[in-house]
């Protein structure tokens, strides 16, 4: 159905927490895909269904092996695992060295994720920098979402990153892919912080919404969610954000991600 690529500029926190929170409350069937080329933490951070840890060898790495022989969207599900709490996940690479080995395959993986039948995909793309092969995955997204804190320094850097992402997408014939912003802000002055970031960015992008800065609830996401966690400010803001983002996305026509 749709691929939502979530990322951040250098130094900006919270991409993995944002992705887990959004996936946990997403209003449609969803897959959480860890697509950070620098290496991710999901395999060692989140418990597998039935207890124990996820298998780090099953996920993006095993999918990449299959992609070398050609990849069909339906094959993705053969490499996913289930978290405690029921969420399906495609575990990512553990180290940057493993991520470097995927440089020629990011486009194939992005195309497969974008065409998964009956599933939206939230992709944790980590911290992105200059244009590189990882942007081939972003080019298949229905939307690119950049996470930022509400500090002046991070918003200034974000303006440059929005321009760089838009340029990288344009070279892959995806000028129309929306680049949105999610603001992580404290509960005091939450709405004012969103308004300030929106004003600071001007016409460069749109602020989709915000996530509450709530370290205690973020830590609780390591285990099963529900109960008190569902009533936390983090999850309440995640639910509102997920509903707004999901309703704004239509299923796109997947186009080649090659450079023009």
Tell me the residue range of the domain where 189 lies: 3-248
Question: What's the pLDDT tens digit per position in 74-87?
Answer: 889 999 999 988 89
pLDDT at 186: 92
- Domain membership flag for residue 257: no
- Cα–Cα distance for residue pair 69/213, rounded to 1 Å: 43
**What pLDDT band is residue 36 in, cutting at 50, 70 and 90?**
very high
Mean per-residue pLDDT over the chain, rounded: 88
- Cα–Cα distance for residue pair 10/18, rounded to 1 Å: 16
pLDDT at 222: 76
Total domain count, the chain: 1
- Domain membership flag for residue 255: no
Question: What's the pLDDT tens digit per position in 77-125?
Answer: 999 999 988 899 999 998 888 888 888 889 999 999 999 988 999 999 9
Q: What mean pLDDT is predicted for residues 22-37?
A: 95
pLDDT at 2: 93
Alpha-helical regions (H) of 130-214: 135-138, 152-170, 190-201
- Domain membership flag for residue 223: yes
pLDDT at 74: 81
Per mean pLDDT, which range of 3-12, 63-72, 133-142 is the poorest?
Answer: 63-72
Which residue pairs, CB below 8 angstroms and at least 24 apart, start in 50-57?
50/84, 51/84, 54/81, 54/83, 54/89, 54/91, 55/81, 55/91, 56/91, 56/94
Question: What's the pLDDT tens digit per position in 130-174?
Answer: 899 999 999 999 999 999 998 888 888 898 899 999 999 999 999
pLDDT at 260: 43
Q: What mean pLDDT is predicted for residues 39-44?
A: 83
pTM: 0.92
pLDDT at 181: 95
Question: What's the pLDDT tens digit per position in 203-228?
Answer: 666 899 999 999 989 888 876 666 78
pLDDT at 76: 92
155: domain CATH number?
Answer: 3.40.50.300
201 pLDDT above the threshold of 80: yes
- Domain membership flag for residue 259: no
253 pLDDT above the threshold of 50: no
Intra-chain end-to-end CA distance of the chain, in Å: 26
pLDDT at 257: 47
């Amino acid at each position: 159905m749709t691929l939502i690529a979530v990322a951040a500029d250098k130094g900006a926190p919270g991409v993995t927490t944002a992705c887990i929170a959004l996936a946990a409350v997403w209003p449609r069937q969803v897959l959480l895909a860890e697509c950070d080329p620098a290496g991710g933490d999901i395999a060692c951070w989140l418990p597998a269904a039935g207890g124990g840890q996820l298998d780090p060898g099953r996920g993006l790495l095993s999918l990449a092996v299959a992609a070398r022989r050609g990849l069909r969207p339906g094959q993705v599900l053969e490499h996913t695992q289930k978290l405690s709490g029921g969420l399906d996940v495609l575990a990512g690479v553990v180290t940057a060295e493993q991520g470097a080995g995927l440089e020629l395959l990011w486009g194939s993986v992005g195309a497969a994720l974008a065409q998964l039948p009956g599933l939206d995909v939230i992709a944790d793309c980590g911290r992105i920098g200059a244009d590189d092969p990882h942007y081939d995955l972003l080019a298949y997204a229905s939307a690119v979402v950049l996470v930022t804190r509400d500090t002046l320094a991070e918003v200034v850097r974000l303006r440059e990153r929005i321009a760089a992402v838009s340029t990288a997408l344009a070279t892959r014939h995806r000028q129309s892919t929306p680049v949105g912003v999610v603001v992580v802000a404290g509960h005091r002055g939450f709405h004012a912080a969103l308004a300030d970031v929106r004003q600071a960015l001007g016409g460069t992008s749109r602020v989709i919404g915000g996530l509450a800065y709530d370290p205690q609830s973020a830590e609780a996401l390591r285990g099963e969610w529900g109960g008190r966690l569902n009533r936390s400010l983090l999850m309440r803001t995640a639910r509102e954000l997920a509903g707004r983002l999901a309703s704004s996305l239509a299923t796109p026509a997947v186009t080649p991600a090659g450079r023009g």
